A = this chain, B = another copy of it.
Amino acid sequence: MMLETARHRIAANGLRSLKVRDVAEAADCSIGSVYNEFRDFDGLVLTVNRETIRALTDRLIAVPAEDPVRQLHGLAEAYLAFAAEHANLLRALFEHRMGDDRPFPEDILSMVMQAFALMHAPLARLLPDPDPEEVALLARTMFSAVHGIISLGLEERMVAVPPEKLREQLAQFVDTHLAGLGIKIGRTQAFGKIS
């Protein structure tokens, strides 16, 4: 119940709007009970963020893996769909900093890293003679690029790419990048100049 309230607050108005007092009021309990359950404000945010990265990972893992090119497109699309539905929750995951310079818990970091590594398998299948370390870096770079395109593209106030164009641009981005890696793909290409 407290967790639900916290998630709804963040989802509706962003991390900045989250107050322990409001969570306690909505759950009809004392502020002490919230601290008892989550230790502190960061503990509450981390619990919400763990559920966010878990839900995102579930979506990404559900992308069909038969065809590696389609899988890469599917991963980018699934990330976009999740980001569009849960913009504030995803922002909270990336924007949250621990108070008093305490270190970030390892478990949530490794969950994020695992999600960002999901482009590894399809890229390794597409590249001839892939070096595992290079593919790992490439996968994370590509996913970070997709993250940048989506997160800025979805900023209504700071639109790097207009929302209606975003899906299309993302597909074009993935195609262009694969073509740049020398991977042949049977799709209409960005600017029709690669084929």
Residues of chain A having any CB pair with chain B under 8 Å: 13-14, 16, 91, 94-95, 97, 101, 103-104, 109, 112-113, 116, 127-128, 134, 137-138, 140-141, 143-149, 151-153, 155, 157-162, 165, 169, 172-173, 175-182, 190-191, 193-194
Contact = CB atoms under 8 A, between A and B. Distances in A.
Given A127-B191, A137-B165, A137-B169, A160 B181 contact: no
Contacts of A141: 149, 160-161, 169, 172-173
25 contacts: A14-B97, A94-B152, A94-B155, A103-B157, A104-B158, A109-B157, A109-B158, A112-B158, A113-B158, A127-B191, A137-B165, A141-B161, A141-B172, A141-B173, A144-B148, A144-B152, A144-B160, A144-B161, A145-B173, A147-B152, A176-B180, A180-B190, A181-B193, A181-B194, A182-B193
Contacts of A180: 175-181, 190, 194
Interface residue SS majority, chain A: helix
Given A141-B161, A145-B173, A180-B181, 9 more contacts: A91-B95, A95-B95, A104-B158, A112-B158, A141-B172, A144-B160, A147-B152, A177-B180, A180-B194
Number of copies: 2
